[in-house]
Structure 1
């Protein structure tokens, strides 16, 4: 069974921090082969030491990632990524600052080789409340926000207390219930919505503090430890697919991202994914060798529902 390529779409108005986020993820790839598709190739300004070669609208990076300019044909660009001689682990599309990221996500969803992991939308904490009052901008901002699985209120350090409060109030009023985090310099960990393969997830998200396989904590990355935390476990029990699907419809508040490989029958295995507001369960191959089932959840520090996660996965 060929694994579908995880797709993440990044949206947000001009100046919200999308390019900063992409550069951060490229620097933190840690062996993950990402294909990043952008509208404005020059705006990425990739660190020189990461660039291995440039050919037309494509730049190959030393860490195995590539950046491609979409041009006028996103579908063609996606086909090239899907058919790449050396397979990618994830694809990330940056929507232009005035476009609707959900329309881009729908194009990606049309390809059976891709699996939509989520739409992350950034807003500028210091400007969005004022921008939303502009009748020429309001519709664009609202459409972007309503497509989000996760809203990142970025540049919180540059906003006054009133501006930050206004930004958060506008986000909640426009997209009530959508997970929302505050951050500076687009400090969102790659593991949060990148579709990192499960086999690689634990080393990336679980730090030295991990000591117990049945519900333990770690940091999403050294520089994100103050904001995010993880919970992980290796469940021994069979969790029926129907039970998992029901749980995914009512994921406890505080879980921003969850992924895992779980036994759902005597000889059946499933890959479970949850990002922001949406979860999925797909049949999967049994882990190789003596590898066990595993699940990792990520959330804001102090808000991850450890007890609820433990009660369900390792009662």
Structure 2
């Protein structure tokens, strides 16, 4: 009886059974987008549930009494000078970010788990004219996450004291351009993992994700529901964003000509109108492949409420994507 008892007691917990298909991060049903795929205080080793923290009430920055830190030579400097130091250390950069499920790396004792990843862009310090020129655009792919890349330095400073934390936090989130490549789930994951205050400090986002127009059905409905949810996410969680660029990565226009309709285009552009009304944008840009621009421009021209939306084209194209590949992979 005893051996059997101890075998049961110390038996390793089985990992959740993986489904036959693996959800791609570009899928509208990727883990972390919808509440049903998240778990409060969940296991970082569970691929099929995003571990999130309980909803937190935002704290007032001045809620706690704080020291003036006048014994420190740094804090005796003018605030403007300290800000220049923070900018040099951790601000004014273009930063690729992901929160993702990482498979075991070649390193010893590496375990699969949910984790952060970021890299400072090697091409630019801010917005760029065309994503195809961004040599870091492949950085979001997991294979490249194992390659050492330049990181933001000095974030340990956020732990030094309350004044240092508050001053540097605004620089870190408020002056960098946060780039989210390819995966449709990234903005949702970032909003769930970051503290609400940090998310609200972000001012510049450069986002791209795969999109496809399908024959009407469940796949198209899922994608459109997630697409509309993205705009609600920007309005609710990223209230400080004043510069937003969204790149739509689409299959070749030639493969999708049958699905072009004026009505579908208006439905696609409609959520931009409410986004335009919600705040004073410094830059709000929709970037589409060059062979889609005329179609989008025609529909945009019929919607006066979108006059302030900047529509640009990119030479980006991915001829490897077909509509059926956008949601699932074997």
Instruction: Answer yes or no: same fold by TM over 0.5.
Output: no
Q: TM-score, normalised by structure 2?
A: 0.29
Q: TM-score, normalised by structure 1?
A: 0.30
Q: Which has the higher helix share?
A: 2
Larger radius of gyration between Structure 1 and Structure 2 = 2
